[in-house]
A and B are shown apart, each in its own frame.
Chain A
Amino acid sequence: MQMMPLGLMGPGERGEIVEVGQGTPECGGCRCKEERKPGDVRVEDMGLRVGKQVEMLNNSSNLVLLKVDESRIAIDRGVAMKIKIRR
């Protein structure tokens, strides 16, 4: 089993999410309640959650574009690096 950050996937690659930004020391990710400010949207609420198949559509700028189910979701690379996938 090979785990890698979502942000490193190339366009067209697919994988399954195994971890969503938990336990990272800087805690800028998605789970830590103390860090959350009004206006933040949970990546999980938009369908990026453990067990999901994702496809990388575009990974050429500081945003990455993913396909999850039937939605296309753009996220910061910083957030993308905290999501781990398995190919």
Chain B
Amino acid sequence: MTEQTPHTANDAVSSAAPRPLVVAVAGNPNVGKSTLINAIAGTRLQVGNWPGVTVEKKEALFEHNGRKIRLVDLPGTYSLSPYTQEEIIARDYLVKLRPDLIVNVVDATNLERNLYLTVQLMELGIPVVMALNIYDEAEAKGYRFNLHGIETMLGVGVVPTSATRRSGLTELLDKVLETAAQPADHAPRILNYGDDVETAVALLGDTLRREHPALFALYPERWLLLRLMEGDERLRQEINLAQDALPEEIFHHLRRGHGEDLEALMADARYSQAAGLAREVLFKKEERRVEMTERIDRVVLNRFLGIPIFLAAMWLVFKLTFDLSKPFGDWINDMAGGPFKHWTTVLLGLVGAPDWTVSLATEGVISGVGFVLVFVPVIFMMMFFITFLEGSGYMARAAFVMDRAMHAMGLHGKSFIPLLLGFGCNVPGIYATRTLENPRDKVLTALLIPLMSCGARLPVYVLFVGAFFPNNPGTVIWSLYVLGIALAIVMGVFFKRTLFRGEAPMFIMELPPYRMPSFTSLCLHTWEKGKHFLIKAGTYILAVSIFVWFLLNLPWGVEHKKDSYLGQAGQVMAPVLSPLGFGTWQAASSLITGVIAKEIVVGTMGEIYAPKKGEQKKPEASFGEDLQEIAVSFGKAVKESASNVVSTFGVSSLAADEKEDRGPLKATIQQTFTPLSAYAFMVFVLLYMPCVVVAIAMRQEFGSWKWFGVAFAYQSALAWGMAMIVYQGGQLLGWGV
């Protein structure tokens, strides 16, 4: 971890030093923790990953009443036991880096369960301030809290908050500063585990003090003792304590009286502390009314209606995403291809740059980066809707409904959403695996996503289907989508039996109550999800685009595309592809560039096959006219996007329209491919390695190239194998004429 903050509770008092107050924010999942942090920190929030893992880490540095505060968001956990990745992160941070203070975000509508974590946090001996969040909803339900009671019984400060309404935030920060100013007066109460346990704890304490006194400098005393009582293996190994180093007689008495499982005994004790506290301080009106959440759930989770409702919801998300974003994507594409290229050429011409730099800047950089930017509206729009589904609580229901179907692939219901998104574009699909808690599910899902035929492959299908299967284009394209799904199921089963052997982890998930997410928090979360793509993928893509440009234009002064490095690479690759029916250097070169983005296959084919005609020179536009053009066409895009929503059911955004006249290209293709080899080629395009952007997304999500390597290997094999089966099988059946 980067921000080492080694200090004891004492030097936090002398806080004239410029060191910021370190405040860890802990709480259960679904308690509005991130909304609260967003509301407090706003744009000062920085999102990264916890070292070595892909769990998000949010931090913010800001000032309140002249005091610098560093907020560190811990992953949402139900407890601090060392079993899930999130729990281990939270616990290691709290125990080893010892923040000055913990803000414990608690769901006021579900106090008892939340207090279980509170009780564990209190054992760390760090001052705790409780944000009693969702307070407004709890009050509306008729709950009354004895806030003073909580403060005195627990020894923690309590502030009612409502993150969605931004109320109580200043009071919370005031309380944080007040508590941090006098940490000694705000030590959490020590809760009693009952005589038997406490006697054993005291004995254990004596033993450790005698034999391992150094430990107490490293760990909070009571926490250390309680964890060792519970038989915490992870901690025991961490402090290098032999299994039998602790005298058995300490535990003997307890085990006789309470059974073998001391961990369960301690958990029960802690839980009854939480339950007892909740009883004391919370007054509920005794009435059992059917809540809105349950009424909605009865319909949405209905055995017969559940899946149709889910499919309809997904269809709508899909539809809205593409209808809304496509005009903007087109706009970016047109801008990059038109005015930007034009003015770059003009500017470079003015400074007298050599021709090749102009070509590099326009063909390489602007076209390449433009290709990525075209994805931006789709990705942000999709992230927006996903965030909405998550925030509203429906995402958890979707996982519930789809669970059974997904078991066939060795996955849980939650994996369905990333896979579905993959049909639009694999990249947001990969990023959406973030919503899966389990690393195994994450990786397995991400490996299968590239088999979902994304929108970028459609232009390739459209070109070939137009040339070879004009009579039934829909069926042929549909068959490719189905092939992708079928192979995903096969590969899912295969991976389940090989790389991911063993039981799917058991499924326990909380279905949060339905809530209307606020627009600001939706935007913030969308931005957080999308900006990684914008920044990092943008830089990688830039490099790759330049690289490909050089491949196409080197060696210097290459006359014919065939002699460029790319052409040469295509010639080397061609024999490998000949059993598949398209062993030409042109096809091979196109496939190589298709690695950047699969629609480039079409573009490269156009460049290679079609002899260069003199480019139609548009009348030179002035800079002013171009600016106007940019603004006008953006206006058009907004209008188109808006009208797409209105007529959302009639727009055919996915039926990729063939804008340019590809007549000559089609004719050339008809000469070099047969219908059979064309189909084999499409199968290959469907299956061969995922595009660079997907590769980068996988690298970002899994922290190494390993899983992309696996995807690359299995997909290459699958693509080659399937295309070969199609072509050779077809020939045997006599279709290859």
A residues in contact (CB < 8 Å) with B: 22, 28, 31, 33, 36-47, 49-50, 57-58, 60-63, 65, 67, 69-76, 78-79
A63 vs B504: C-alpha distance when bound (angstroms): 14
Quick one: given A41-B78, A49-B271, A60-B303, are A72 and B297 in contact (CB under 8 Å)? yes
Q: Give B contacts to A, CB under 8 Å.
A: 78-79, 81, 83-85, 88, 107, 109-110, 112-113, 116, 231, 233, 261, 263-264, 267-268, 271, 293-294, 297, 301-303, 396, 400-401, 403-404, 407, 413, 437-440, 503, 505-513
| Other-chain contact of B400, A31, A42, A46, A74 (Cβ < 8 Å) | A74
CA–CA, A71 and B114, complex, Å: 11
| CB<8 Å pairs between A and B, sample of 11 | A22-B261, A31-B261, A36-B83, A41-B84, A45-B78, A69-B110, A69-B112, A71-B110, A71-B113, A73-B511, A74-B511
User: Does the CB pair B403–A61 fall under 8 Å?
Assistant: yes
CB closest chain-A residue, reference B396: A74
Inter-subunit contact B400/A65 (CB<8 Å) = yes
The number of inter-chain residue pairs (CB within 8 angstroms) is 118
- A28 CA to B110 CA, complexed, in Å: 29
Instruction: Please determine whether B271 and A39 come into contact, CB atoms closer than 8 angstroms.
Output: no
Q: Which 7 A-B pairs give the minimum distances between C-beta atoms? A: A45-B78, A60-B303, A70-B110, A72-B511, A39-B438, A45-B79, A47-B113
- Structural contact, B293 and A39, CB atoms closer than 8 A: no
Decide: B511 and A76 in contact? CB cutoff 8 A.
no
Give which listed residue, A28, A44, A70, contacts B503 with CB less than 8 A: A28
B412 to chain A, nearest CB (A): 9
Is A39's CB under 8 angstroms from B439's CB?
A: yes
Point out the residues of chain A lying under 8 angstroms from B88, CB to CB. Answer: 38
Which B residues are in CB contact (< 8 Å) with A74? 396, 400, 507-511
Given known pairs A39-B85, A57-B297, the reply for A78 and B113 (CB within 8 Å) is no
State A58–B297 Cα separation when bound (angstroms): 9
B306: nearest chain-A partner, CB-CB: A61
Instruction: Establish whether residues B438 and A31, one from each chain, have CB atoms under 8 Å apart when the complex forms.
Output: no
Q: In whole Å, how far is B729's beta carbon from the nearest beta carbon of chain A?
A: 38
Nearest A residue (CB) for B304 = A60
Complex: how many Å from CA A44 to CA B267?
A: 9
Complex Cα gap A33–B260 (Å): 12
- Chain B residues positioned under 8 Å from A37 (CB to CB): 505
**A79 and B404 in contact (CB under 8 A), knowing A33-B263, A38-B83, A42-B79?**
no
A36 partner residues in chain B, CB cutoff 8 A: 83
Please indicate the chain A residues that have their CB under 8 angstroms from the CB of B439 in the complex.
38-39
> A40 and B84: CB pair below 8 A?
yes
Among the listed A39, A45, A69, A72, which residue makes an inter-chain contact with B505, where contact means beta carbons less than 8 Å apart?
Answer: A39
**Which one of A46, A50, A78 has the highest number of Cβ atoms from chain B below 10 Å of its Cβ?**
A46
Q: Is the CB of B403 within 8 A of A63?
A: yes
Cα of A67 to Cα of B407 in the assembled complex, Å:
24
- A49 to chain B minimum Cβ distance, whole angstroms, is 6
Contacts of A65 in B (CB 8 A): 297, 301, 400, 511
- Tell me, rounded to whole Å, the shortest Cβ–Cβ distance linking B199 to chain A: 24
Residues from chain A with a CB closer than 8 A to the CB of B512 are: 72
Contact B400 A63 (CB under 8 A): yes
Q: Enumerate chain B residues within 8 angstroms of A44, measured Cβ to Cβ.
A: 264, 267, 271
A40 touching B505, Cβ below 8 Å: yes
In the complex, chain A residues whose CB is within 8 Å of the CB of B303: 60-61
The complex places the Cα of A62 from the Cα of B402 at a distance, in Å, of 10
Beyond contacts A57-B294, A75-B509: 13 other A-B pairs, Cβ-Cβ < 8 A, are A39-B84, A41-B78, A41-B508, A42-B78, A46-B510, A69-B113, A70-B109, A72-B297, A72-B510, A73-B509, A74-B509, A75-B506, A79-B507
Chain B residues with Cβ below 8 Å from A58 are 297, 301
Inter-chain CA distance A44–B440, complex, in Å, is 23
Q: Write the nearest CB–CB distance from B90 to chain A, whole angstroms.
A: 13
CA A73 to CA B513, docked complex, whole Å: 11
A63 — which chain B residues lie within 8 A by C-beta?
400, 403-404, 413, 507
Among A37, A50, A72: residue with most chain B CB under 10 A:
A72
**What's the minimum C-beta distance from A4 to chain B, rounded to whole angstroms?**
21
List, in ascending order, chain B residues with CB within 8 A of A40's CB: 83-84, 505-506
CB nearest to A66 among chain B residues: B511
Residues of A within 8 A of B261 (CB): 22, 31
Q: By the criterion CB–CB under 8 Å, are A31 and B264 in contact?
A: yes
CB of B78 within 8 A of CB of A62, answer no
Complex CA distance for A32 and B112, rounded to whole angstroms:
25
A22 to nearest B CB, angstroms? 8
Q: How far is the CA of A41 from the CA of B503 in the complex (A)?
A: 15
Contacts of B116 in A (CB 8 A): 45
Contacts of A78 in B (CB 8 A): 506
User: Complex formed: what's the CA distance from A74 to B293 in Å?
Assistant: 15
Instruction: Report yes or no: A28 in contact with B506, Cβ–Cβ below 8 A.
Output: yes
Q: A33, A60, A61, A71: which contacts B510 (Cβ < 8 A)?
A: A71
Q: How far is the CA of A8 from the CA of B301 in the complex (A)?
A: 18
**In the complex, what residues of B have CB within 8 A of residue A45's CB?**
78-79, 81, 116, 267
Tell me if B510 and A38 are in contact (CB < 8 A): no
Give the CA-CA distance A79 to B78 in the complex, in Å.
18
A62-B407 in contact given A39-B438, A49-B271 (Cβ < 8 Å): yes
Chain A residues closer than 8 Å to B112, beta-carbon distance: 47, 69
Q: How far is the CA of A43 from the CA of B440 in the complex (A)?
A: 20
CA distance A22 to B261 in the complex (A): 10
C-alpha gap A56/B81 in the complex (Å): 28
Complex formed: what's the CA distance from A53 to B509 in Å? 18
Provide the residues of chain B in CB contact with A79, threshold 8 Å.
506-508
Q: What are the residues of chain B within 8 A of A42 when measuring CB–CB?
A: 78-79, 81, 83, 267
Q: Which residue of B lies closest to A41 (CB)?
A: B508
Give the chain A neighbours of B297 by CB distance below 8 A: 57-58, 65, 72
Most buried by A among B112, B293, B302: B112
Report the Cα distance A36→B400, complex, angstroms. 23
Minimal beta-carbon separation of B78 from chain A (angstroms):
4
How far is it, in angstroms, between the C-alpha of A71 and the C-alpha of B404 when the chains are bound?
A: 22
- When distances are taken between beta carbons in the complex, the residues of chain B under 8 Å from A41 are 78, 83-84, 508
Inside 8 A of A49's CB, which chain B residues have their CB?
267-268, 271
- Our pick among B79, B268, B401, B510 for the contact of A73 (Cβ within 8 Å) is B510
Contacts of B109 in A (CB 8 A): 70
Instruction: Flag if A33 contacts B110 (CB, 8 Å).
Output: no
Interface pair A76/B267, CB less than 8 Å apart: no
Q: Are B85 and A75 in contact (CB under 8 A)?
A: no
